């Protein structure tokens, strides 16, 4: 099996402006923040971002890197609406395709299965068709003749996800309460990059956890990055919970001030800056 390990900055170097980028996790939970920070340190811009949005969306929107966002929401969980995303949206800084959570999932399924669309009941009877006039419906070819939303495939140029453990060849394991849809992001993408808390031998992936926790298969992975605390400040249970104090600081701090303090240097500098910030708190 090939060794796919690389550094976060190597992932950013493989991405390009104008790409459609899928980002895994959910809200402020198990987001690939080390990879997002590497992306922010690069000059990449004009992105179409596909995400169950959290601070990944907020940071990229605040930095002016998103041209279009495809998302069902953008939340910090304990803070219902991501404030930096909200500010970008209010000033008209990005185009938005806001869809139902199930429609979003079905769009990933369609892309993962190399289909142009999949029919879904979600969205019927709501304003989703009005606010997304490009969406179409299809009628069942069978006797019932039921109408469905034809959810287009969410095809990704690249996907970024974060898991608890991975091996050198790209098998990824989650140990928390929910897989979210990280496997679909990887399968829907032309290239997928997985960061993890720790890289382990393949045999270790099944020693302490059930086989069904092996979420991501190596055939859909392009690169693996060992990134301890790589989801910070979002949660990565059971390794750590959300850093609520730091998240509140992020949410209440003007973006230029936050970026200047925490996004210069590399991940080691980031962790050092966060540690210093915590020591400063009363």
Give the phi and the psi of residue 119 in degrees, each rounded to 5.
Answer: -75, 140
Position 121 scores a pLDDT of: 95
Position 209 scores a pLDDT of: 75
CA-to-CA distance for 227 and 9, rounded, in angstroms?
11
26: Cβ–Cβ under 8 A, 6 or more apart, which residues? 52, 54, 178, 180, 181
Averaged in consecutive runs of 10 residues, what is the pLDDT profile of the chain (282 residues)? 95 98 98 98 98 98 98 98 98 97 98 98 94 96 94 98 98 96 98 98 85 93 98 98 98 98 96 98 94
**Bond prior to 233 in cis (omega within 30° of 0):** yes
pTM of the model: 0.97
* Residue labelled with tokens 């976060």: 8
Position 1 scores a pLDDT of: 72
Closest CA to 97 of 73, 115, 120, 78: 73
> Would you state the torsion angle of the CA atoms of residues 206, 207, 213, 218, taken in this order, to the nearest 10 degrees?
-30
Domains and CATH numbers, the chain: 8-99+154-199+220-243 (3.40.1080.10)
CA-to-CA distance for 131 and 98, rounded, in angstroms?
8
CA distances from 8 to 67, 92, 122, 193, 234 (A): 23, 31, 37, 9, 18
* Residue labelled with tokens 């304990």: 78
CA-to-CA distance for 99 and 151, rounded, in angstroms?
10
């Amino acid at each position: 099996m090939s060794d796919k390990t690389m550094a976060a900055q190597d992932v950013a170097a493989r991405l390009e402006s104008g790409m459609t980028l899928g980002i895994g996790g959910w809200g402020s939970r198990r987001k690939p923040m080390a990879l997002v920070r590497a992306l922010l340190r690069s000059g990449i811009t004009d992105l179409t971002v596909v995400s169950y949005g959290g601070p990944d969306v907020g940071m990229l929107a605040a930095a002016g890197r998103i041209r279009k966002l495809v998302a069902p929401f953008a939340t910090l969980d304990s803070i219902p609406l991501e404030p930096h995303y909200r500010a970008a949206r209010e000033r008209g800084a990005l185009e938005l395709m806001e869809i139902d959570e199930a429609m979003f999932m079905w769009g990933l399924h369609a892309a993962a299965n190399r289909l142009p669309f999949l029919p879904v009941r979600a969205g019927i009877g709501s304003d989703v068709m009005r606010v997304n006039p490009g969406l179409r419906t299809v009628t069942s070819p069978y006797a019932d003749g039921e109408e469905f939303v034809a959810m287009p495939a969410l095809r990704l140029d690249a996907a970024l996800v974060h898991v608890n453990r991975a091996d050198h060849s790209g098998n990824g394991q989650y140990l928390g309460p929910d897989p979210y849809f990280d496997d679909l992001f990887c399968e829907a993408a032309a290239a997928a990059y997985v960061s993890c808390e720790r890289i382990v031998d393949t045999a270790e992936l099944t020693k302490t956890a059930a086989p069904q926790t092996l979420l991501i298969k190596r055939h859909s992975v392009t690169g693996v990055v060992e990134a301890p605390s790589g989801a910070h400040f979002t949660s990565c249970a059971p390794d750590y919970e959300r850093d609520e104090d730091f998240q509140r600081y992020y949410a209440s701090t003007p973006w230029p001030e936050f970026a200047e303090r925490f996004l210069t240097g590399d991940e080691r500098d980031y962790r050092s800056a966060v540690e210093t910030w915590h020591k400063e708190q009363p």
